[in-house]
A and B are shown apart, each in its own frame.
Chain A
Amino acid sequence: MMPIRTILVLVLAAAGWLGQDTPKPASATSPTLESARKRWERFSPEEKARARTRYERFLAMTEEEREQLVESARQLHERSERVQKELGQTDGERLATMEPAKRRELVHEIVAEESRAVGARIRGQFPESWLARLENATQEERARAFLEFRVHQRDRVARYAIGELGRHLALPAEEIRRLQELPGNERCDAVLDLRKRLSAQEVDESGLPPGLTREQWDAWLALPPEQFFDTFQRYRESRIFAQGKREAVRALFEAARPHPERVLALADLPADERRAKLTAERRERCVHALRDGNLLAAEEIEALTRSSDAEFFLAVRRVLRSAGSPKR
C-alpha cells in the first residue's frame, strides 16, 4: 500500500501546485512603477538618453538632495496632471488631435509658467536669509538647503502656528500641547486641520466669503484639510486685488499671470519662437496695466520697456508685492 500512498501524496502535491496562481510580473505589483514604465516606453531614443544622463547625476547626489528632488518633482507632476485636466475641459478637442510629444511639450511650458508665477508669490513670503542661501547654492546643494528649510519649519514654526491657531479656536492648553508634540508630518497636518476649522469658524461668525455660495462653501468644507487649504488659498489670491481701490493692481495681476489658452493658440510655432512671443505678449499686457492703473511713473515704465525680461518681471512682482497680501 505504500506506493499507493506515495503516489497519492505526489498527485495531491501536483494538484496543489497546479492550482497555484501564475506568478505575476513584478511590474504589476506597483501601479506607479507600471505607469512610469509606460511613460518611459513613450520616450524617444533621445529622451531616453537624456534621462539616463540625468539619472547619473541624480545618483551622485546625497540622500537628502534626492529626497527633496523627488518631493518637488511629485508636486510638479501633480500640477502637470491638473493642468492637463483643466486643458482637457476647455480645449480637449484641440489637445486630442495633437501629437503626444507636442502635447507634452505644451503642457510642460504651461506648468513651467505657472510654477514660476506661484514661486514668485511664495518668494514674497519666503524668509530673506533662506532665500539668499538658496540663490547662492549650487543646483545640487539647493535641493538640500530647501529640505533643511522645510524641516526647520515643521520643527519650529509648526509649533508656533498650532499655538496661534489653538488660541483663536479657544482650544484647551493640554490639547494645544498635545498637537505641538506630534511627530513632524502629523504636526503639519494638524496645522492644516486647525486652519480649516478656523476658516469654518470665521464664516460661521462673519458670513460667507465674497463671491461664494453656501453650496460651494459646503463642498469646500467636505475636502480634506490639505485640499481645502489649496482651494481656499487660490480663492484668496484671486480676491486679493478684487477690492475697488486696488483694481489697477488686480489688472496687473491678471496681466502677469500665465495664460495657458495662449500657449495652445501658438502651438504650431516652434518652441523658442512660441516662448518669445508669449513673453512679449505678457510684457505688453503688464505695460498696459502699469500705465492704465498709474502704478508707476511714466519714465519708470519707459525705462522698464527697455530692460531685460528678468528685470521687467522682477519689477512687476515688486509692484504686486507692494500691494501686500493678507496675513492670517
Chain B
Amino acid sequence: MSSDCKSFRSALEAELLGRPSQEKLAWLSWHAHLLACGSCRELLAREEALEALLASLPEPKLPAALTRRVLLRLREDRAVEVRLDSLLDLGLSGATEPPRGLAAEILARLAPEREAEAARSLDALLDRARDVAVPSGLAARVLAGVAAERVRAARTVRRTWIYAAAAGLLVLLLGRFVWVWNHTARPSETEFVAQDEAAPDPQMLAALDVLEQWDLLMQDDVDVLLSTLGPADVALLDYR
C-alpha cells in the first residue's frame, strides 16, 4: 500500500468515526488519490453503500408495554420496602425501641442484591427488546431502493469529472495557443509589404552565388573561369 493510499484511508477513517454521513463520504470522492487507485475507489464505494444501507434501516424501538412493566416491578419493590418498615414498626412498638435507622440499614444491605436483581431483570427485558423482527427480504428491498440513488450520485460525480477535465483541456489549448503565438516569428509590417513581390524560390537562393557572380562567370574572357579551379585541380596541372 502506497503512502497515498495510507493518507486517503486515514482521511476515510476520520470521516467514519462518530456518526458518518453520506455528504462527508461524497466529499471524499473528490480526493485526487482516487484518480490513480482502484482499490481505494472500491473501498470508498463499499463504505458509501454500507452507509446508505445503515441510513435506510428503521430506528430500533422498545415494545410499548415495556415501560409499564418496568414501572410495575419497581412499584412492587417499593411496596416490599414499605411493608417491611411497617412490620418493624408494629412488632417492636412499645416493647423495645428498635435502633434508629435499622430499616434503612437493612435496606442498604439489601440494595446491592436488589440492584443486581433489577439489572438482571432489565437485561432480560432488553434482551427481549433486541430481538427486533426484521421482515424477510428487507435488505434486498433496501438495496434496490438505494440503487437508483447510488447510480444517480455516481453519474453526478462522473459528469463533474468530465466537465472539470474538459475545462482543463480548454485551458491547456488556450495556453498552447498563446504560447505558440508568442514564440512564432511573424512577419513585420514591412515584411508584409515586401511579400507583395514573389518570395524567392529556395532553389534560387541556393544558386545565389552563381546569380551574383554571373557576369564574371559568363564573360567571354575564360581567365575568370580558369581562376575558379580548386587547389587540387591546380596541383594536378603540374603533372600533365
Contact = CB atoms under 8 A, between A and B. Distances in A.
A169 to B, nearest CB: 15
Interface stretch (A64-72, A82-90, A94-102): A64-72
Contact of A72 (B38, B220, B225): B225
A45 B197 CA distance: 10
Given A119-B227, A126-B237, A327-B238, A4 B214 contact: no
Interface string B55-85: 0000000000000000000000000000000
Given A8-B35, A70-B209, A116 B224 contact: yes
8 contacts: A14-B169, A41-B194, A73-B217, A115-B216, A122-B223, A126-B226, A157-B239, A188-B232
B235 A229 contact: yes
Interface in B178-230: 179-180, 183-185, 194, 197, 200-202, 204-214, 216-218, 220-230
Contact of B239 (A10, A32, A77, A161): A161
B interface secondary structure, majority: helix
Contacts of A123: 222-223, 226
Nearest to B184: A22
Interface string B152-184: 000000100110010011001101100110011
Given A119-B225, A192-B235, A233-B231, 6 more contacts: A7-B161, A55-B207, A58-B210, A72-B225, A76-B209, A150-B229
Contacts of A22: 179-180, 183-184
A164 interface: yes
Contacts of A230: 231
B238 A3 contact: no
Contacts of A315: none
A224 B238 CA distance: 20
Contact of B213 (A14, A77, A116, A120): A77
Interface in A1-39: 1, 3-4, 7-8, 10-11, 14-15, 17-18, 22, 25-26, 32-33, 36-37, 39
Interface string B95-114: 00000000000000000000
A191 B172 contact: no
Given A14-B172, A189-B232, A77 B227 contact: no
B224 A112 contact: yes
A160 B239 contact: yes
A41 B187 CA distance: 13
A51 B198 CA distance: 13
A122 B211 contact: no
Contacts of B225: 72, 119, 134, 142-143, 146
Contacts of A8: 35
Contacts of A112: 216, 224
Q: Which of A7, A8, A70, A71 has the most CB of B within 10 A?
A: A7
What's the interface size class on A, roughly?
A: 35 or more
Contacts of A125: 234, 237-238, 240
A115 B222 CA distance: 10
Given A14-B173, A40-B208, A119-B222, A161 B235 contact: yes
B169 to A, nearest CB: 6
A139 interface: yes
B41 interface: yes
- 3 tightest A-B CB contacts, nearest first: A119-B223, A72-B228, A73-B209
A143 B218 CA distance: 9
Contacts of A154: 232-233, 236
A238 interface: no
A48 B194 CA distance: 12
